[in-house]
């Protein structure tokens, strides 16, 4: 639903549910170059004084069209039951994520040594999900080697993945709990890991 540098123009689309696209300016990408006919994508329309954002459905044709499928916001009603804006002149139509669909992390906590090397790092999202990982840990030896997580999980670990950081040694995470994990290897190697949990 999102692609780079997509911008086209249209002329006086009014409040029509379908907009005739006039093509991209030089150096920009057209919607049908970025998305397949029938695909949905995010759109913004503006004429310099008013604007509208939403989800559009594209159709190839002569001209190519953009259907204003779902209006999420406009400069008059905000997000309070917004309708299609009446554009009466030259209008730009471009592909961008409306704020109503953007992923926003207002805050999260992180820790570790500031890099994924030498012990690992972690971050915790609002809601409690913890993602942590590290690279070049070890060495593991043939058999089982136990490691501690940089941050113990409060409730449980959902998954833990481990693999060797090069060479021909095979290493896998065989067991894990809230505080650490065990790696089984068929030789000596350094490992990379990633774990997710609460």
How many C-beta atoms lie closer than 10 Å to residue 135's C-beta?
16
Q: Are the C-beta atoms of 176 and 157 separated by less than 8 Å?
A: yes
Mean pLDDT score of the chain: 87
Q: Tell me, what's the pLDDT at 142?
A: 74
Q: In what order do the strands lie in the sheet with 143-148?
A: 143-148, 180-185, 171-176
CA 138 to chain centre: 32
Instruction: Dump pLDDT digits (tens) for 149-190.
Output: 888 999 999 999 888 876 677 778 888 999 988 888 888 777
Instruction: Dump pLDDT digits (tens) for 27-42.
Output: 999 999 999 999 999 9
Residue 57 is encoded by which pair of tokens? 């459905």
Domain range for 73: 7-101
Q: Is the dihedral of CA 133, 138, 143, 148 positive or negative?
A: negative
**Residue 175 lies inside a defined structural domain of this protein:** yes
**Which of 66, 85, 101 is the endpoint of a domain?**
101
Total number of domains in the chain: 2
pLDDT at 11 over 90: yes
Q: Tell me, what's the pLDDT at 114?
A: 47
Spatial CA neighbour of 180 closest among 137, 151, 155: 151
Across the range 4-16, mean pLDDT stands at: 96
- DSSP annotation string for 171-182: EEEEEE-SSEEE
Q: Tell me, what's the pLDDT at 196?
A: 94
Q: Tell me, what's the pLDDT at 168?
A: 74
pLDDT at 116 over 60: no
pTM confidence score: 0.56
Q: Are residues 12 and 71 in the same domain?
A: yes
Q: Are the C-beta atoms of 191 and 137 separated by less than 8 Å?
A: yes
pLDDT at 57 over 90: yes
Q: Tell me, what's the pLDDT at 49?
A: 95
**Which of 38, 68, 101 is the endpoint of a domain?**
101
**Residue 122 lies inside a defined structural domain of this protein:** yes
CA distance 136 to 69: 49
pLDDT at 107 over 70: no
Of residues 14 and 147, more confidence is placed in 14
Q: Are residues 113 and 41 in the same domain?
A: no
Q: Are the C-beta atoms of 160 and 173 separated by less than 8 Å?
A: yes
Among 31-45, 46-60, 134-148, the least confident range: 134-148
Across the range 80-108, mean pLDDT stands at: 84
In the chain, DSSP assigns E strands to 7-11, 18-20, 40-46, 51-59, 65-74, 90-94, 109-112, 121-124, 130-140, 143-148, 157-164, 171-176, 180-185, 189-197
**Residue 134 lies inside a defined structural domain of this protein:** yes
């Amino acid at each position: 639903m999102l692609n780079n540098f997509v911008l086209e123009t249209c002329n006086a689309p009014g409040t029509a549910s379908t907009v005739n696209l006039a093509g991209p300016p030089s150096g920009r990408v057209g919607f049908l170059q970025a998305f397949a006919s029938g695909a949905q994508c995010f759109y913004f329309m503006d004429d310099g004084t008013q604007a509208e954002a939403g989800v559009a459905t594209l159709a190839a044709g002569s001209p190519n069209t953009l259907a204003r499928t779902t209006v999420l916001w406009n400069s008059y009603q905000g997000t309070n039951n917004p309708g299609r804006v009446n554009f009466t002149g030259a209008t730009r139509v471009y592909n961008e994520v409306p704020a109503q669909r953007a992923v926003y992390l207002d805050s999260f906590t992180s820790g570790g040594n500031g890099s994924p090397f030498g012990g690992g790092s972690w971050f915790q999202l609002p809601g409690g999900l913890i993602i942590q990982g590290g690279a070049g840990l070890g060495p593991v030896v043939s058999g089982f080697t136990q490691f501690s997580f940089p941050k113990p999980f409060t409730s449980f670990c959902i998954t833990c993945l481990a693999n060797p950081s090069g060479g021909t040694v095979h290493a896998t995470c065989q067991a894990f709990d809230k505080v650490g994990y065990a790696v089984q290897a068929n030789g000596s190697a350094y490992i990379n890991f990633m774990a997710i949990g609460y």
